[in-house]
Every structure is written in C-alpha cells, then in structure tokens.
Amino acid sequence: MSAKAIERSLWALFAAFMIAVPWIIPALISSFWVSVIAEILIWSLLAASVNLLFGYVGLLSFGQALYFGFGMYGVAIGIQDLGLSFWPAFALGIVASMTMALVTGIFAVRLTWHYFAIITVVFSLIFYFLALTNKWLTGGDDGINFALPPTINIGGFNKSLTDPIFQYFFVLCTAALCFLLMHRLVGSPLGKAFLAIRDNDMRARLIGLNVYLLRLIAFVLSGFLAGVAGGLFAFFGRYASATYMFYHVSGEAVVWAIVGGAGTLLGPLIGTTLFIIVREIVSTHWEHHSLIVGTVAILAVMFAPKGMVGLWNDFISRIAERSGAPVGAVELRTEP
C-alpha cells in the first residue's frame, strides 16, 4: 500500500469514528468521554491558533489565551449583559477576539522571535490583570455564569446545546470547519507566502512580499481561531472567567502544538488529544496527575522532536518503503 492510500483510508476511518462517537463511546466506556472529546476539539483550536503563527509563519506567541478569553467574554457578556441570542453572541465573541488581535498585532508583529514571544505575554498579562480588576464587567476570578439560549429556534423546532449529542455535533462541525479553512489557507497563495516568511523573512521581503502585513493577517487569523475556541468553550461550560486568560493557558497550547507537530494541520489536534486524555485518565485515579503530564512533555521532545506527526510520518514512510511503493508525497516537512 502506498503512503497516500494509507493516509486516505485513515482519514475515512477517522471521519467515521468522529461521527459515530456519541453512540460508540457511551456503549464502550461512558458518556462522560463524549464531552471529553468535545473539549479536546475545542482546545485543539487554541493549539491550532498557536500552530498557525508558529508552524506556518514562524512567530511564537505566548499570548493566545488573551484571544481565547475575549472569545469567552464576548459570548458571556453578549448573552448575560446585552441579552443577545446564540449566534449574535458567538459572532460578538469572534469579532471581539479578532479586533483585539488586530489592535495588539499592529504592535506585536513589528517584533520577532524572543521579542514577539515576550510582547504577546505582556499584552495577555495586561488584559488578564484588567479582567481581574474590572469585576463589574468580567466577574474577575469568579467569572460570569449564563443560561444557554437555544441554538436553533425556527417555528416549533428548538435545539440547544443542553442536548449533549447536539452539543457534540455542534463542536465537531465548528472544529472541522476551522480545520478545513486552515487546510485551504495553507494551500492558498497566502499560505505559501506565510511559509516563505517562516523559512526566510529577508528573502520573502526581497521577492516583494509585504512581510509586516502578512504577519498581521496571520495574527488576526490566529485570533479568529482562538476566538472560536473561546466562544465554544464558553458555550460548553456556560461560563467565562479571567483565569483562562492567564499565560499558563497559552503555554499549554504551545506545548500541545509542538508535541503534536508544529507546521502540520493535525499536529495540534493530536497533541491536545494526547495531553487531555492523559490528564483525564490519570486525574480520576491520582490527584497529582501533573507529574505525568510533565513527564510526557519531556519524553515527547526527547523521543519525538518533530512531534507526534513527525513520528508518524517516519513510520508511514518506513512501511511504504518496505512494500516497495515510492516514498514522498507524505506530508511536507514538519519542523519550522
């Protein structure tokens, strides 16, 4: 079997599994795990927003939690204070985080590498502390709880995320849409320009690309992904809180993206899955699950420096080699 064929059949299998989750998982394990998988999908979007910047443009952001938080608060404030219904609140969350990404990005993308990493942390810390102090708006550490409005309400037909199966599919569809958009983006001329900047920004500048503008576009797009993740997470927990804007959340997303495989489409999803599943399994048996998570992180970079996807690509090409099919045409390079 060629590498391409293996990949295609795996994709089909993966899609079928994701659709069947609400029925298979409760039968095999328990319905609790359906919501864990939904949570993984949501967080993988935050990891994807890190990956878009780091894996494709070469900018390491340690402040993505800021845009995640704006997505959360946009939804929560929209519903609780402004009385918006489901879709306008979701839109408000996404627009809020994209606007924030634009405003901070105008400054941040003037810098690169260490400086960029630091300034994104600084920005996210500023707004974290602002959210903590302005309790009238954000609820501070306690956060905002809200009641879920219906998602669809046409005539007598009424669906809301309180239905766990509907909630799962809503998250799945949104995440799938985002990853599809990301896939299209990477293949588009814009995506190629991103890669050119990642590999050599001086050369990109010399062939006439507007590096500053392209980085800003990438920054706003990553704000979009983080905002969608934050909005979804607010709906998922019916809750928004400043704690999710702290830099530790950003750091976790960076770890998920790199362990999964930076610069690959599904790397963030795989990294997020690994860490959240380990956390969920261990935390039910042992209070000190962070020890395991930390060990996994260290072992991952020692034994899979190109991430899980890199490990997998090596494995696939070895199989393909053994069966005599031509190698190549697997996924492109993984390291940025």
Nearer to another protein, 294 or 328 (CB): 294
Nearer to another protein, 247 or 312 (CB): 247
Least Å from the CB of residue 245 to another protein: 13
Nearer to another protein, 15 or 213 (CB): 213
Radius of gyration of the chain (CA): 20
Least Å from the CB of residue 44 to another protein: 17
Least Å from the CB of residue 23 to another protein: 35
Contact (CB, 8 A) for 74 and 204: no
Query: How far apart (Å, rounded) are the C-alpha atoms in residues 225 and 228?
Result: 5
Least Å from the CB of residue 113 to another protein: 9
Least Å from the CB of residue 269 to another protein: 17
Nearer to another protein, 148 or 296 (CB): 296
Nearer to another protein, 174 or 264 (CB): 264
The CA–CA distances, whole Å, from 63 to 70, 100, 104, 200, 254 equal 12, 12, 10, 24, 10
Least Å from the CB of residue 106 to another protein: 10
Nearer to another protein, 161 or 255 (CB): 255
Contact residues toward another protein (CB under 8 A) are: 60, 107, 110-111, 114-115, 117-119, 121-123, 125-126, 129-130, 132-133, 247-248, 251-252, 254-255, 258-259, 262, 288, 290-291, 293-298, 300-302, 305, 336
